[in-house]
Amino acid sequence: MIRPTLFFILLLAMVWQNASAREVERWNKNTHLLPPYCKDIAKGSGSRERTKWSGTFGEVYIHMHHYCAGVFAEQQAKSALNKRERANQLGQVVSQMKYVSGSCNAGCVIYPELHTRWGWALGEQGQTAEAIKHYQLALQAKENYTPAYVRLSELYLEANQPDEARKTLESGLKASPNSRSLKKRLKELESSK
């Protein structure tokens, strides 16, 4: 006969193993949405694919698994139906981007993308002023970074500031005149008047 304490420990181990297996399964189902470097980094430290990225990312490379966890959390937040789960995933995005930012200055290759993702998560949490600061950091580092203009304009629209959204899109087109996404969004904005 199994003693109650041993039974509880075995039960806890089974629950933990199942939770861990579900997390791995969820990761595997959604890795196709991740950038190529995240997929390669997830293959482990000995993989040839993973080591090719160390030269690309420089010093921040040792923290890229945190960055990729933040990217994954962003994808999960976008598809979460449960408000609590969505809030948790948004918190993960902010937390992971904040952590990586400690090793990623304005010259870091992922700096604009990092601050754009961070700004998006903050905006989704209702922290509009903080979100704007992060989009501005992204654009100061890379003036023609289209995703920051797009997301910043969306934030202004959500805040019922269409004039600011238009100015943002126009500034983006000055920096990146051939951007289809900026042209499309500006056209949509103008036609919604």
Q: In angstroms, what is the C-alpha Rg of the chain?
A: 20
How high is the pLDDT of residue 156? 96
Tens digit of pLDDT for each residue in 78-117? 999 999 999 999 999 999 999 999 999 999 999 999 999 9
Find the mean pLDDT for residues 52-67.
87
Dist CA 153 CA 133 (whole Å): 13
Transcribe 39-76 into DSSP letters: HHHTT-TT-HHHHTTHHHHGGGGGGHHHHHHHHHHHHH
Q: Interhelix angle for 162-175 vs 146-158, to 10°?
A: 170
Q: Where are the domains of the chain?
A: 34-127, 143-193
Transcribe 174-191 into DSSP letters: HHSTT-HHHHHHHHHHHH
- Would you say the C-alpha torsion 42, 47, 49, 54 has a positive or negative sign? positive
Which pTM value belongs to this model? Answer: 0.82
